[in-house]
Structure formats: C-alpha cells, structure tokens
Amino acid sequence: MTNDIPAWVDGTLTPVDKLEAHLRGLRHKAISVFLLRGDAVLIQRRALGKYHTPGLWANTCCTHPHWDETPLGCATRRLREELGIEGVALSPRGQVEYRADVGGGMIEHELVDIFVGHAPEGLEIAPNPDEVMDAVWVAIDELHRQTREEAERFTPWLRIYLDQHAEQILADP
C-alpha cells in the first residue's frame, strides 16, 4: 500500500507521499468523522507512535483518502481501521479547509470532507493500538471548555473545528 495522498502541486491534483505533503505544507484532501451520541461526541487520543501530534486528543477519526477513493468510502474504512466501528451510517456535513502547524516542521493544509454519524447506545469500540491509545465520549459543551482551557492536549484541527465550524459539524441538520 502506498502512502500517496491526493494533493495539489502547481494547481494540479497529484498523488504525493503523505509525509512530503505535510513537510511541504501542500494543500491535500482529507476526511474527518464525528460520532455523536445524544449531547456527546466520541474523541480519540492518538497513539504515541503517530508521526505527528502523538498523544493528543482528536475527533472520532480522520485521515487522507487513497487516490480514487471516495470521501465516504474513506470515512467508513477509517472508522473500522482506527476504532473497529462498523455499521454506523455517516452523513456529509460539507467541506472545511484549514492550515495548521502540527509540529516537527510539518504543516497540515487540508481540504476536509466532514462526516457525522449517530452512534447507538452500547456501540462497541475496539481501538487499534497502532492508531489510538484511548477513546472516550465527552459532552460537547465540556469538550469546548477543555479545548479552550487546555488547548495543548488537543490537536490543532480539533480546536479549529470547534472554534470555527462547530455549528456546521455538530448542529442538528
């Protein structure tokens, strides 16, 4: 399997190695998923072996689509790969674009397709330890408070989503 992701180079969408895209700060495609249960959202703590932002809390899951992979297919795949979650219907919530320093000389400049799913009570979660070291349900209001008061514990993109796009992502459609 390749690490190539769809990125724009000189205005053309091109397969680029994921690490190279982040080191060069190239604008590239991504997906982010938020699973909701009542007034809570499932967040994950990234595994310590991740090449950027290890040990920080992020949204339910996120990644970059493979070349020619649909955003929904990618979101569904990543829920399974990261958290062992299958069978939750995902709804698109549009796109957002952000640019953030993620440390180590890397920049994420992402055009992100956002998906939201409503998880049933008792949903089984089986985190992949190579990807996720913990996953918890947290009330959305509490998550807003924590990201403001303890920003260093959270990924830059989760803070951006909550600060700039919360209504688009978390409001009832």
Q: pLDDT 10s per residue in the chain (173 long)? A: 467 889 999 888 888 988 899 999 999 999 999 999 999 999 999 999 999 999 999 999 999 999 889 999 999 999 999 999 999 999 999 999 999 999 999 999 999 999 999 999 999 999 999 999 999 999 999 999 999 999 999 999 999 999 999 999 998 76
pLDDT at res. 91: 97
pLDDT at res. 1: 41
pLDDT at res. 3: 77
Q: What is the pTM of this model?
A: 0.94
- Domains of the chain and any CATH numbers: 4-170 (3.90.79.10)
H or E element that contains 147: helix 140-149
pLDDT at res. 173: 66
Q: Between β-strands 4-9 and 12-17, what pairing exists: parallel, antiparallel or unpaired?
A: antiparallel
Q: 143 vs 120, 122, 140, 147, CA distance in Å?
A: 20, 21, 5, 6
Cβ atoms 87, 141 nearer than 8 A: no
H or E element that contains 105: none
pLDDT at res. 67: 87
Angle at 54 between CA 49 and CA 56, to 5 degrees: 145
H or E element that contains 32: strand 27-37
CB count within 10 Å of CB 103 equals 12
Give catalytic residue positions: 62, 110
